[in-house]
Structure 1
């Protein structure tokens, strides 16, 4: 059975299960080969709580781009302190970051879409591929309503670029569902969410969202019609 067929099988066979039941099933069926990547946003904190509170043997990792907000590091620390569980950080290759800054300076991503995608590739995509290597299930905090690009996603999908099955447990959740879970369960969260930051990435590339703006408007706000993606979740 190829990867696409495996993803479709999981969509069918696990359809009636709760999120907890699905995670338990996956943790047992894909022992040592299941991973969750967190950026410490609302959605990811919900999944982290699921994993750590139920002691599921699922690796939890984060991508440290070197350009994160101080508030993001604070919720990283508070999450580790609350659950007493490790979250492994993956960093971009130092030589490529050094070369990029030497050739193009620290803010080249503002100058063109090509430059921005180059920075994202070095700081996010390369360490992600290293983290995913050897795994078969990748858990994400993606929600369908986050952007038009994600509206047709399925709970289980075959990620051709990364050669892995992607599991999106919060796919049908609304932002209010996520907030309610976080507050009712006293889950640590990034205080930037209280200041209008809906989707939080690197500090130079993220701003608060204004009333009436799209969910992704705060990411790479200087770009128009770029898709507002960094390359982590391209199919």
Structure 2
């Protein structure tokens, strides 16, 4: 296993004027490629600190540096590196998203390699085994997500993760965990647990997909035998902690808060089809609902699965059932088109005034959609509420990974957008000589629906 040291070049962190929003994300990102981070250094932007990083590079596999490359400090940083490496400085035109200056001239050491995406945004500057990333959390995440395949090429491996959340303080859960560890000693799956009050989490990790699925299904079977139901606890503190990294995330919380103030709990339902987007929405909505509304009402969010007339994937149906059971939510399935389903819902339950949707602006017919917008005039009338409208593809996966939220297993097999069996295939952009990479390895979010057959029907759901 390779090791990496993370260095945060931030004077404000040293002075206690800034909160570290990057190290946890970097560590989890590198762990995805089986790269261990034994140490995080918080350093000032002095020449001495930069020199120490460069001079110690031969003793380490990888060094990740966040900060020190913005408009204020980049000149000193790169000059110091050039001195340590005894190389010349050369001019390089890069897009500097951190200061919104597209024509800024960077002066870099001549041996620097610029890892750049097609758009030229959020570059990573690489010198030997040192990677210089933006200090701004939004831009750092964008940079790393653009270069996942680069890091994959370093280790030629990646780690699948599964999380099983159980609410139980019974000794049986610990006995089950010990039994699982003993039963799968010879299987290449790392099995760990953590406990917080009555919340018990079993974490599975493996580089072999079929092995981790086998162990996961075994545990799920045992939980059913013991009548222990998986229960996901929506951590609002973790949600707010994540949201602080971007105004886009904070805006999502504001939309949900406005929705729950504008409409009564029993006037809202959430459209849930098991896709990644509505999985994010469900967690986010419950977290905000519990934080703002639950103490005033015993009502829970109603979930509705609008099932296409086409045959769904078994994995989606299973995931939907497990998710609804885990959240303990009222749930109904309605078969038919979206328009037919809305008609049925509003005729049988005219109290509903708003539907929470996992739509993003990149979805068909959603480019001009507003966070709050009524359905079209020729449709059943209801307010469409779209809290994650401006999230990017990578934002969705960041949220799922950082908060350890279970998602449909099809995404680990190379699907990036889920419909039904007759219009959904693997995404060719994820194809490698060894098969298909998981969905979160897709670096170009515009290719998200590449595995979907053309579908020009309007949709209130997203996958």
TM (norm. structure 1) is 0.67
User: Higher relative CO (CA 8 A, sep ≥ 6), structure 1 or 2?
Assistant: 1
State the 1:233 CA deviation.
4.3
Q: Count matched residues.
A: 183
RMSD: 2.7
**Larger Rg: 1 or 2?**
2
State how 1:35-184 maps to structure 2 within 5 Å.
35-53=269-287, 54-55=289-290, 57-65=300-308, 67-92=311-336, 121=337, 124-133=338-347, 134=350, 135-147=352-364, 149-160=365-376, 161-184=379-402
SS at structure 1 position matched to 2:355: strand
2:23 pairs with 1:23: no
State the 1:39 CA deviation.
0.9
- Distance, in Å, in 1 between the alignment partners of 2:328 and 2:372 is 29
Kindly indicate whether the alpha-carbon contact (under 8 Å) linking 2:393 and 2:448 is maintained by their aligned counterparts in 1: no
Q: Deviations over 1:114-146 (max 9, x none)?
A: xxxxxxx4xx43123322452221211111123
Cα pair distance change 1:132/1:230, threshold 3 Å: farther
Q: Name the counterpart of 1:215.
A: 448
Cα pair distance change 1:233/1:80, threshold 3 Å: closer
Q: Name the counterpart of 2:416.
A: 198
State the 1:82 CA deviation.
2.3
Q: Deviations over 1:5-44 (max 9, x none)?
A: xxxxxxxxxx9x7433432332243112212101111110
Q: Deviations over 1:187-224 (max 9, x none)?
A: 221111122222211112211222178433322x2x5x
User: Which structure: greater strand fraction?
Assistant: 2
Kindly indicate whether the alpha-carbon contact (under 8 Å) linking 1:35 and 1:132 is maintained by their aligned counterparts in 2: no
- Distance, in Å, in 1 between the alignment partners of 2:317 and 2:332 is 13
- Distance, in Å, in 1 between the alignment partners of 2:312 and 2:357 is 19
In structure 2, list runs of 5 or more residues that go unmatched. Answer: 1-247, 294-299, 430-443
- Distance, in Å, in 2 between the alignment partners of 1:85 and 1:58 is 7
- Distance, in Å, in 1 between the alignment partners of 2:343 and 2:414 is 31
TM (norm. structure 2) is 0.36
In structure 1, list runs of 5 or more residues that go unmatched. Answer: 1-14, 93-120
Cα pair distance change 1:186/1:68, threshold 3 Å: same
- Distance, in Å, in 2 between the alignment partners of 1:179 and 1:214 is 15
Q: Name the counterpart of 1:34.
A: 268
Cα pair distance change 1:173/1:88, threshold 3 Å: same
